[in-house]
Amino acid sequence: MSRTSRSVVIALLIVVVVALLGVIYASPYIALDRLKRAADARDAQTVNQYVDFPLLRESLKDQVGQLLTRKIDIQKSGNPLAMIGAMIGAALIGPLVDSYATPDGVAAILNGIPPKGNPGEKPPVPPEASGAVVAAPGAVQAPQPPQPIAPAEPASAVASPSAPKPPPQTTAGYRSFDTFAVNYQHGTGDARYSAILRRYGLFSWKLVAVELNDG
């Protein structure tokens, strides 16, 4: 092999190695994007590929339990009513974990709506499931009568004091070679929480835990 050929081969190997390292580095960002898209679409099959639900359930159980402990503050109060509240709260952990260890729950976590440990708490229902009817494949739908066009409202009437909370501020990065964290915060002074992804092999990542704070 001539010197020129060897130089070309070495250059190609360097390009391949750099490209491979780039893909390895970007792999959690790619996985996070695919997971969020699938969770928002309630694509359970794809969500299952990017979430380790047994580990996520254990993390939710532990984190929600810590939230309840901090809220009730049994050790400081010594109040019998606080003990009763703790028992009730402990009984609520299971249903809450069950509701958040789902595609709906994953979508909520990745959209800035973590569990707060409140009684009967469930992740929000996606808008398309709140009354929209999806036709079966091949079904023929009856024509709908034309709807009157409402006059445009002035800009001042569109704004509402009960407008939804703006999307959270997010930061993401490696904690170690095998651990990647996405941090969420709605504003300065608000509580933060994190979604934790773990590496499975060189390129695959799964959501395995959340880290909650009081908020």
Residue 149 has pLDDT above 50, yes or no: no
Query: Rounded to whole angstroms, how far apart are CA atoms 94 and 61?
Result: 7
Q: Measuring CA to CA, how many Å separate 182 from each of 4, 66, 140, 172, 214?
A: 46, 20, 44, 4, 17
In whole numbers, what is the pLDDT of the chain averaged over residues?
77
Give yes or no for residue 5 having a pLDDT over 60: yes
**Under a CB-based contact definition with an 8 Å cutoff, are residues 199 and 181 in contact?**
no
> Which pLDDT score, from 0 to 100, does residue 75 have?
47
Query: Which pLDDT value is given to residue 164?
Result: 57
What pLDDT does 80 receive?
59
What is the model's pTM?
0.71
pLDDT number for residue 95: 85
In 3D space, the residue among 210, 214, 212, 177 whose CA is nearest the CA of residue 196 turns out to be 210
